[in-house]
Structures are given as C-alpha cells and as structure tokens.
Chain A
Amino acid sequence: MKRVTLALTLALAAGLSAQAADAQTLKTIKDRGMLSCGVSQGLPGFSSPDDKGNWTGLDVDVCRAIAGAIFNDATKVKYVPLSAKDRFTALQSGEIDVLSRNTTWTISRDTSLGANFTGVTYYDGQGFMVKKSLKVNSALELNSASVCVQTGTTTEQNLADYFKANNMKYEVIAFGTNDETVKAYEAGRCDVFTTDQSGLYANRLKLANPNDHMVLPEIISKEPLGPMVRHGDDQWFDIVKWTLFAMITAEELGVTSKNVDEKAKLENPELKRVLGTDGNFGEQLGLTKDWVVRVVKAVGNYGEVFDRNVGAGSPLAINRGLNNLWNKGGLQYAPPIR
C-alpha cells in the first residue's frame, strides 16, 4: 500500500504543481528543523534500529553527518525505513531529502530516476551464502539450486546474468523485504541466499546458528553503494557529496572525533583550511565555516565510522579492503578541500 501511496503522491506532485523541482532543499530542511533520511528496514552495520530504537550503521552515520553539518546536532534526523522497491519513489515524491540505503550506483538509476548519486560510501560486490552442510565450495557448483533474493535490487539482475553466463539453471524466489528473504532461506526454501557481500555477513548474524552458514568466495558484480539526492538542487547535491568527502579527508589528515579540537588549533595550513579557521568553503556550500569540525564531531572520520559499524570494532568484522584510503591500498579518495 505504501507503494501506491507514494506513487499517487508522486503523480499528484507532478500533475498538479506548477514547478515540481524546487531548489530549496536546504531551506526546507532548516525550516523543518529535521533532515528526512531514507534508510533500510534493518540491515545490521548499515542501518538498523538497536534495542532502544536508535538507528545505527554506516548509512545512518551519513545521515547523522549531514544533520551535524547543518544543525551541529546529529540527532536532528527523521529516519524513514524503506524497502528496496519503495526507495526511489520515496525520494522522487519528496518524502525524504536524501536516500542513504545501501543503494548500488548504476547508470540507469543515475539517469532515469530524476536523482543523482553523490559518491560511494562502501565498495561492495554481490556474493552467495549457503549452508555448510551442502558441502559447496564455489558458486560454480550451484547448478539447479534455488536462490532466495530480495526483489527490486540489482542483485536480481546480476543473478540472472551470472547463471546465464555460466550456463547454469536455477530457481529464483523473490521476496518483498530483507527479513522475509532471510526467513525463507533459514526455513530451507532455498539453497542459496544472495545479496551484496556486506549484507551476507550482516544477515548471517541474524540467523539462529551463524556458524552453520558460509559465504562463498565468488564476487559476481561491482556494487558501489552510495547516497542519492533529487535532481535539480545543485547546492543540496554538493552538501551531501562534500559531507562524505569531509569524512574521508578527515581520516587522511588524522583528524578524529577525539582530537578534532586540538587539530583545529594547529598552525598547519591544510588543517586550517579544512577545519575552517582559514577560508570560507563551508559558507560557499551554504553551511558554516566549521562544517568539517561539525561533521567529525557528529560521527568521526570515515575510518572511525567504518570500524564502529562494519569493521574491526563491530560484530561484522569486515576488512577495510577496497574501502581503505587510496594511499593504503583501497579506493576511498576525496578531492582536495581548497
């Protein structure tokens, strides 16, 4: 029903408003006093509510960082949990300001949805999880298997491509939400559960006996996950884009949530520029001079965010791998703040 409501909102907004694309996102958010952020319905490590109902995760921290940059208060976020298939309509219809929901950047999504990706928060790839008792060691041994997948994802199409390319047969069972998919996999309806590899590790924690299941070594696709904003508001696009770059730059410069105040006092020209004691880049974005300080105080630098949510400091314990900084063998790279 939510889908129908969203589609109707979109139809009405497009059909009745004289000019639907408004370039006032930042002003709207400030007037509202809240950032409206689209997240998943529960994916540990990326966005899921804890036992007290507080949202945590890598994707959630992106929302918190943006709220920190705007309000200097990371709690001023309204989280809108969305299923994979409702997420774009929610963004198009204006229900959310930014979609931060483990969403793969593809050309069709970037060009036909009326929305833009602002960067890559996590470099991922699609993998497979099976029960250890099946004694399967490679995805190439999965001929004639039944595969559970969440509907409305790039995963579904990669799956079709992979099995076709390798001349294997399979049966797909597509469910509406992540939890339903995992439950059916656990109930034995399918042999294989497939999603982005980070999601496999995260969902494995939800299973009754995580050690009975293993993630196969094959990565069958490129899944760069990132936040999305609506077309037509370049200022807002810049703010979301540079909030992520601020987190990465802070890690490069060794600025953490603990030492940010001391670092701001140092006479290092680059630090002065980034942390806003010199120059006015923040004001050019429509924010304040100390925007990077605010972001880092809100969530920490990219490395801290990664470790806390999905990395060594979390139950997921995923290696930095591709998500390490560019000068440490990874792909995370921010254009200079100058």
Chain B
Amino acid sequence: MSTEARKPPPQIALKIRRFLGGKAGWNGVAVQFAFAAILGWIGYEIVSNARANLENQHIAAGFGFLRNNAGFDVNQTLIPYTGSDTFLRVFVVGLLNTLVVSVVGIVFATLIGFIVALCRLSPNWLLSRVGEIYVEIIRNLPLLFQILFWYLAVLAALPNPRQSISLFGIAFISNRGLVIPSPVGQSGLEPFLAMLALGIVAALVLRFYARRALFQEGRMIRIWPYVLGLLFGLPLAAMLVFGRPFSFELPQLKGFNFAGGSRIIPEFVALTLALSTYTAAFIAEIVRAGILSVHKGQMEAGSSLGLSRGTTLRLIVVPQAMRVIVPPLTNQYLNLTKNSSLAVAIGYPDLVSVFAGTSLSQTGQAIEIIAMTMGIYLLISLLTSAVMSVYGWRVSRSLGA
C-alpha cells in the first residue's frame, strides 16, 4: 500500500502568514490584530471625546466650514479664485502655490547645486574657492533671515510702478513684480499646437530609432538637424497656412498698477531665490561627496579612452555617483518643500499662510485645519520620496547593481 505523499501547504497561505505575522507565524497575526484593535479603539475614543468636549464649549467642529465662503482675497492664484469662493478652494489655491514654489525651487536648487559642486571639484583654484565660499556662507546662515534679506533687497532695489524699468517696452520690472505680455489664443492656435505635438512625437521616435541603431548595430546616426526641422518647421508651416496662433496682450500702466499681461509677484521671486540658493548649498556638498565616491580610476579610464573631461563626467562618473547622491538629495527636496512654509513672513500666499493662517483665524477651527495641513505636507513628502525611490532604483538597476 503506497502512502500518498503529503501535500505541501499552499504557498499563498504561507505568504499571507509571513506577511501578517512575521517570524511568529499565526500567533503573531493574533497579536497584531489585537494591537490594531486597541489602537483603533483609542483613536476612536480620542476623536469622539474631542467632539463632545468641543461641543460642550460651543467650539465649532467638523469639516462643514470647507463649504463656507472665504470672503478674503489672495494675490497669486493659479486657478480662478475670488473672495466669494469656498474655504476648500482656498485650500487648493494655497496648495498649488506651495507646489509651484517647491517645484521651481527644486529645479533651480538642483541646477545651482550641481554647478557649485562641479566648481568645487574643478582643478581651477579660483573656481573651487568661489564654490567653497558660496557653500560655507549660504549654509551657515538661517533660512528665514535669507528669505527676508532677498525680499527686502529685491524690493529696495526696484522702483515703483510709475518709474518701472522697461524691457523693450513689452515687459516691466517694478516693486509690484515682473509684468510680461500674456499670450491670447487666435484662430491658428489649434493647428499650431497639433503640429507642435506631432513634431515632438516624431522627434522622440527618431531618437528611439537612433539609439537602437547605436546599441544594436553600432551605427551613429546624426539626428539633430531632423529634430530641429521637425520641432520648428512643422509649427512654422502651420502658422503660414492657418495664420498667427496667438497674439500678445501688452501690459499697460493704469492708475497704480499694470493692467493686462501676466505678473510674477516679488514674493514669489524672493522665496524661490532664497529657497533654491539655500538648498543648493547642501545639494552641492551631496553631489561633491557622490562624485568623490567614484574611484578616480574611472576618470583616468575615461581620459585614456580619449574622452574629454566633460564627457567622462557625464557618461561615466555622474551615473555612478547618482547611486550615492539620490537618497540624501531626496531629503533636501523634502526640506525645501517644507521650508516653503516660511513664506508667510514675506506675504507669499502659500498653504500655511492662506489656509493654516487666514482661514484658521476666520473660522477658528484649529484642529481640523492644522490636521489637514499636516496631512497634506505628509502626503507631498511621501509622494516625493516615492518618486525619488523609483528613480534611485532605476539608477541602481541600470548600473547592474
């Protein structure tokens, strides 16, 4: 009589057990469920107790206020907003203002940071000293001080709107900000945009083809003349056929200020300047450390192949350095985003200023508003680090690590 071989337990159950209970197995699962239940119960008690107490004290509670009219204005809005919109819209307006200053700040901080790092590593004595002085001065002064400095320095240097500096009569700089002509769509806009999109897609296809030819057959194809032709020629042709895609609305001085055109407010400029120069000092050190972590033999190997210093850096050193650079770089991006909340000191309408500031004192609902603000900052930070993790993972993978 043959005994049947004992069936192995189904893999899926094992996986679930490991996932839930770790090394302790099913006992661990029970403990974890009990722990989660206790946590949930404590959380529920705190929330319901808080609600009851706030009600006893006649302090308004709940998120109903988000539907009420805000009744105040904001001086930089990326989406249409007036004083008769709701607090929820104020929240979105503030969030977008925070995001735009963070994104622009991150781009500039990265650029400046890389440039300063390369300066510091340069064999040129003067250049490397300049880089060193920049880093040591900027990173050792408090950020709030730098924001106020840029704001007051920028403001003090600029004239009032009536004496504004004119750039060829189309753009104006004054202490109300930079006013530039804004594009207004005309009849030829749609074909123009369609052709532009087509040009971009075609250029990308061309690049894909050229790279495949390079990697698989070792052929170098010169594609940049075609790319230029596609990117500029197609839209230009559309313009000739369908007429001008857009015209420009010129800003004009009316009363106290410029009417028409688009405007970049000085608060935004000062905040972006301060955040990007400050963070760049830290990024420069991170990049320098990353590049130094690549063995100098790599650089020498590059030169012995006849590559120039710039090409060696770009193709050989930086890709390897990125592995070391990305994790601390993520920290700096998160710092920059969170530091943007210092905006309230110079009147830039970011999330903390318009929502956790003005809206809070108009409604008095501190708990809800602070919780929402903290939640959204947490979300932004988690998303940023998720994106950076994916990027870091791709960098490591492409190096075969």
Q: Could you tell me which A residues sit within 8 Å of B by CB distance?
A: 3-4, 6-8, 10-11, 13-21, 84-89, 92, 108-109, 111-114, 134, 142-146, 148, 151-153, 156-157, 159-161, 164, 170-176, 180-181, 183-184, 187-189, 191, 230-232
**What is the bound-complex CA distance between A311 and B387, given in angstroms?**
61
B185-193, B327-335, B350-358: which one contacts chain A? B350-358
- CB within 8 Å for A20 and B56 given contacts A14-B50, A144-B254, A175-B347: yes
- B59 at interface by CB-CB < 8 Å: yes
What would be 29 A-B contacts, judged by CB atoms less than 8 Å apart? A11-B50, A11-B370, A13-B53, A15-B47, A19-B53, A19-B56, A20-B53, A20-B56, A21-B56, A85-B360, A89-B366, A112-B60, A114-B54, A144-B254, A145-B257, A146-B256, A151-B353, A161-B83, A172-B72, A174-B74, A174-B349, A175-B344, A175-B346, A176-B344, A181-B347, A183-B152, A187-B152, A231-B57, A232-B57
In the complex, what residues of B have CB within 8 A of residue A231's CB?
A: 57-59
**What is the bound-complex CA distance between A127 and B276, given in angstroms?**
38
> Which chain A residue lies CB-closest to B175?
A188
Q: Across the interface, do B155 and A187 meet the contact criterion of CB distance under 8 Å?
A: yes
**What is the bound-complex CA distance between A303 and B62, given in angstroms?**
44
Q: Could you tell me which B residues sit within 8 Å of A by CB distance?
A: 46-47, 49-50, 53-54, 56-60, 71-75, 83, 152, 155-156, 160, 175-176, 254-257, 259, 266-267, 344-347, 349, 353-354, 356-358, 360-364, 366-367, 369-371, 374
Q: Across the interface, do A16 and B370 meet the contact criterion of CB distance under 8 Å?
A: no
- CB within 8 Å for A20 and B256 given contacts A172-B75, A176-B357: no
Tell me the smallest distance from the CB of A308 to a CB of chain B, in Å: 30
Q: Across the interface, do A15 and B59 meet the contact criterion of CB distance under 8 Å?
A: no
Q: Which of A16, A161, A188 contacts B160 (CB 8 A)?
A: A188
Tell me the smallest distance from the CB of A154 to a CB of chain B, in Å: 9
- CB within 8 Å for A189 and B353 given contacts A14-B50, A172-B73: no
Q: Across the interface, do B358 and A144 meet the contact criterion of CB distance under 8 Å?
A: no
Tell me the smallest distance from the CB of A14 to a CB of chain B, in Å: 4
**What is the bound-complex CA distance between A144 and B363, given in angstroms?**
28
Tell me the smallest distance from the CB of A141 to a CB of chain B, in Å: 8
> Which chain B residue lies CB-closest to A84?
B361
> Which chain B residue lies CB-closest to A232?
B57
Tell me the smallest distance from the CB of A38 to a CB of chain B, in Å: 13
In the complex, what residues of B have CB within 8 A of residue A146's CB?
A: 176, 256-257
Q: Which of A21, A134, A161 contacts B57 (CB 8 A)?
A: A21
Q: Across the interface, do B347 and A109 meet the contact criterion of CB distance under 8 Å?
A: no
> Which chain B residue lies CB-closest to A11?
B367
In the complex, what residues of A have CB within 8 A of residue B347's CB?
A: 148, 173-175, 180-181, 184, 189
Q: Across the interface, do A160 and B73 meet the contact criterion of CB distance under 8 Å?
A: yes
> Which chain B residue lies CB-closest to A141?
B255
Tell me the smallest distance from the CB of B171 to a CB of chain A, in Å: 18
- CB within 8 Å for A156 and B72 given contacts A7-B366, A187-B156: yes
In the complex, what residues of B have CB within 8 A of residue A157's CB?
A: 71-72, 83, 362
Q: Across the interface, do B57 and A114 meet the contact criterion of CB distance under 8 Å?
A: yes
**What is the bound-complex CA distance between A123 and B345, given in angstroms?**
30
Tell me the smallest distance from the CB of A41 to a CB of chain B, in Å: 14
Q: Across the interface, do B56 and A3 meet the contact criterion of CB distance under 8 Å?
A: no
Tell me the smallest distance from the CB of B250 to a CB of chain A, in Å: 16
